[in-house]
Amino acid sequence: MGGGMARRLLTAGYSVVCYDPSTEIQQQMQAAGASVAPSLDAMATAASTLILSLPNARIVESVMQALSPHLVDGTIILDTSTSEPTTSQRLAAQGEAQGRYTFIDAPVSGGPAASNAGTMTMLLGGAHDAIESLQPLLSVLTAKTVIVGGSGAGHAAKIANNMLCAANLVLVAEAVRLGQASGVNAQDLLEGINAGSGRSGVSEVNFPKWVLNNAFDSGFTMGLMRKDVGLAIKLAESTGVSLPGFDNIAKLWLTESSHLPDNADFNEITRTTNETANNV
C-alpha cells in the first residue's frame, strides 16, 4: 500500500523520501524515482509531512518512538496503517504535549490496486485543521475521504469496516452455497443480490473479481484480515460491547481456518464456507 501511495505522489510531482528496512522495497522505490533515507532518524528530518503504512499498532508505536525526537517542529504524521484507536490517541496526545507534531489516523480501504490507482477510501480522525491542510495531498492518494471524528475515530471506523468485510465474505459464501443447492447459478444469484438490499462490497467486487474465477490474488492476506478480526474483538472487549452475531464468524477466521496460511489471499476464507462456489 505504501509503495502505491509513493508512486502516486511521484507521478503528481511531489518529492518523496522513503524508508523501509527491506532492501528489496528500497530498490523498488528508488526505481520509481523516490529517494531512500538511510535511517528513521534521517527520515524524520526529511519532510514536514510523513505517511506511515505499517503492519500493526505495535510497529507504529515503535517507529514513532524512533522518529519523534528528530521530527521537524510542525510535522504532520498521517498514519494509514490499520492500527488501534488507543494507540492513535496516545500518540496524538504526545505530539500535542510536546508541541512538535500532529498525529492523524488515516486508515485506507481498497487494497494495493486502489493504492496504485489513487482510488482508495480514507477514514480520518484527528485535528481538522491539520487534515484540511493535507487536502491537496489526499486528493492524489484517494478517491474519497471521510472525517469520522477526533483522534482514534479513523481507526475505530476502519476496524468496524473490516469487521463487516470479514463477515460479508463468510455470509455471501453461505448465500451462494444455499442458492446453488437450490439450482441457482452463482453469477445469476449475485446479480439478483446486487440489485437488492443484500448487496455489499463483497458481493459486488470480491466474488466476481477474486472468488468465482478462482483468482484469489487481491493482494490482501489471511494474516492481515485475521489481525483485523482480532482488533475488532479486542475493541469490543475494551469498550464493553457485545458482538454475539460476529463471534462465530470471528472463530472461523481465527481458529477454524488453520488450513489456510497467513500468506493466503483473504478471499480464500470462502473455500472454508463454500466448497462448491469455486466450481461454477
Contact between 80 and 112 under an 8 Å Cβ cutoff? The reply is no
158 is catalytic: yes
Torsion of CA 250, 251, 252, 254, to 10 degrees: 80
Strand 49-52 relative to strand 101-105, pairing: unpaired
Beta bridge partners of 78: 51, 104
User: How far apart (Å, rounded) are the C-alpha atoms in residues 53 and 251?
Assistant: 27
10 Å CB burial of residue 253 (0-12, 13-18, 19+) is buried
Rg (CA), the chain: 20
Contact between 116 and 7 under an 8 Å Cβ cutoff? The reply is yes
Cell digits for 16? 518523496
176 CB-side CA count, 13 A: 32
- Catalytic residue, chosen from 158, 209, 227, 251, is 158
Phi/psi class of residue 114: alpha, beta or left (left: φ > 0; alpha: ψ in -120 to 50)? alpha
> What positions carry a catalytic annotation?
158
